[in-house]
Amino acid sequence: MIDFCWQLHSRPSGESEFVKSDMIERVKVLFDKANVLRFVEPDPSKYEGWSAERLEECKYRYSQLSRVRKYVLRGHYLEAYAYYNRYVLEPLVDMLRLIYTPAHADHYLIHISQHIPKEEINKLEYFAQIASLDDISERISLAEKWFNELLGKL
């Protein structure tokens, strides 16, 4: 299979930059006689501020666990499931992204199995596989412990 991409000379130069050694932005150039594509060194300063904001959002969301517990106790599966995804699962995904792919923390679950170590993927899959209120209730405290472990890695 060939994935063909045509880059115009008139395209802004910043849109044709690829970061060297970036496992997500891998590109193999066959023809670029006019040097339209540019490869740049990694520059953490481009995403550090944005990552700090994302981390604060993760902490805030995780502080809202009581919303999940409230709907579990009320026996409302759909509401508990929605809040579980927003306040438990999404922050875990964001934390993993901030640790392993900080320049691409906004990719959420897209190709995450290729970007995160298998051990972490297995844990994340466990937390994502929810079938009942009992599953949600059981996983909340385990997820909270894991969230704090991930927070310690940053």
pLDDT in tens, 97-148: 999 988 777 778 888 888 899 999 999 999 999 999 999 999 999 999 999 9
Residue 73 shares a structural domain with residue 5? no
**Count of domains forming the chain:** 2
Residue 50 shares a structural domain with residue 35? no
Residue 34 shares a structural domain with residue 55? no
Residue 72 shares a structural domain with residue 108? yes
Residue 69 shares a structural domain with residue 22? no
pLDDT number for residue 89: 96
Residue 97 shares a structural domain with residue 148? yes
Query: In which element (H, E) is residue 58 found?
Result: helix 45-62
What is the span of the domain harbouring residue 56? 45-153
- Amino acid identity of 99? I
d(CA 4, CA 83): 41
Residue 5 shares a structural domain with residue 80? no
**Across the chain, where does the E strand assignment appear?**
17-19, 38-40
